Amino acid sequence: MPVRIVGATHRAAHPSQVTESPEVRAALNWFSRNLNWINDQQVRITEVPAPPFQESARADLVKSLLADCGLEVSIDKTGNVIGELPGANDKEIVMLTAHLDTVFPPGTEVKVRRDGDRLNAPGISDNGTGLAGLISLARAIHEAGIKPRRTILFVADVGEEGEGNLRGMRALVDAYRSQLKAAVVLDGSGTDHVTTKALASRRLEVLITGPGGHSWSDFGMPNPINALVRGSIRFINTKVPSNPRTTFNLGQIEGGTSVNSIPYEAKLKVDIRSESEDELTKLESALRESVTAGVRDEMESSRDRSKGKLEWKIDVLGTRPGGELAAGSQLFAALRAADDYVGNQSRVERSSTDANIPLAAGIEAISIGAGGTGGGAHSLQEWYDPTGRELGLKRAFLTLIGVSGLAEEKSK
């Protein structure tokens, strides 16, 4: 559902207005003067591993970096790093966030390799860029002495990737819902897009179990992997619409103990996404029907059912709700005004990001890149080029200040 627009007590400030402030001009100039420092922080952050559910070491580093920006910083029970810049209005909050976690498992080599200006390492762009942007905006605002009207929370959150199920952002929205007026999410590189539409998704795990046995002496016993393969073939032949766009991905398969053993279990992890909740439900039903048929066909074709039968279940590992930002929202107006000021053009996109949670809760939210360019996301060949980074940082900064506002100077 479209989010509500915050009441008339606060209007998004246009950059042409806020840049009249010498503090704002100083912050804008800070980005261009400190690009090497920003690059170094991105390398430093990226080289601290942050596998799913193991973000604490990187959280400690980011906590220290935010504290150096003059913020009061804490880590909540979920693992989110929260740095607070008090505003003149302490009853209204704007969040700037970037996720801490990467998709890469423990043991992945994350040493950054430099190739000219290009930085190469798993996670360097997603989300080393966003985290470097978070630190940079906090530092620029601190150095310039900016006092916002609304309180700003600078947050490095956990659980954005994979099976994290957006747990960090869920905890933040739960904690600050009554005060939270807007959220700006920094995710990856680029300045060519703004995510204002939340793509709904579900992550599911299929588990098929059986008695297991020896490949020779127990041949003909029902085999969980066989059943999983039968069901998977049925499922991948499911027809999905191109409009509303709907997708599925068989992402992980596990099972078996050795090549000469009939396995006692087989697992499959599936990601399904759609612009329509109805299509998402249809696709989940198709998966359940396919698994049911796969188990049935394997049982019917087995020669020996005396030692046991197959059992199966499907668990939901995570769900991401949909939502959409109203075109007339103050946050969108601030983003467009920032684009105009820095001479940038960006298209509206639908995607699955941390912004899903506030959007679904009726809170204004967007997800944008933090500048520069990147590629190879979620692969060992991931790279980032900081050329043009300052445009992305200025865009994000002006959007943030546009929606948070500046505190009025007290009369002397």
User: For residue 172, which amino acid is it?
Assistant: L
Exposed (0-12), middle (13-18) or buried (19+): which is 394, by Cβ within 10 Å? buried
Query: What's 356's DSSP letter?
Result: H
Helix 389-404 to helix 22-33 angle, to the nearest 10 degrees? 160
Check whether 309 has a pLDDT greater than 60: yes
Residue 367's pLDDT band, with cuts at 50, 70 and 90, is: very high
Predicted structure pTM score: 0.89
Of 6 and 152, the structure prediction assigns the larger pLDDT to 152
Q: What percent of the chain has pLDDT over 70?
A: 96
pLDDT of residue 286: 98
What distance separates the 2 farthest-apart alpha carbons in the chain? 92
> What gap in Å lies between CA 57 and CA 168, rounded to an integer?
16
pLDDT of residue 15: 72
Find the angle CA(337)-CA(340)-CA(342) to the nearest 5 degrees: 110
- Chain centroid, CA 161 distance in Å: 6
pLDDT of residue 16: 67
Check whether 8 has a pLDDT greater than 50: no
- Tracing tokens 């193991």 back to the chain, one arrives at 54
User: For residue 282, which amino acid is it?
Assistant: K
What's the pLDDT tens digit per position in 23-74?
999 999 999 999 999 999 999 999 999 999 999 999 999 999 999 999 999 9
Give the contacts of 296 (CB within 8 A, at least 6 positions apart): none
What's the pLDDT tens digit per position in 376-396?
999 999 999 999 999 999 999
What's the pLDDT tens digit per position in 254-287?
999 999 999 999 999 999 999 999 999 999 999 9
Residue 9's pLDDT band, with cuts at 50, 70 and 90, is: very low
> What gap in Å lies between CA 221 and CA 1, rounded to an integer?
51
Find the angle CA(114)-CA(66)-CA(102) to the nearest 5 degrees: 50
Output phi, psi for 216, to 5 deg. -95, -60
Mean pLDDT to the nearest integer, 155-178: 97
Query: What's 2's DSSP letter?
Result: B
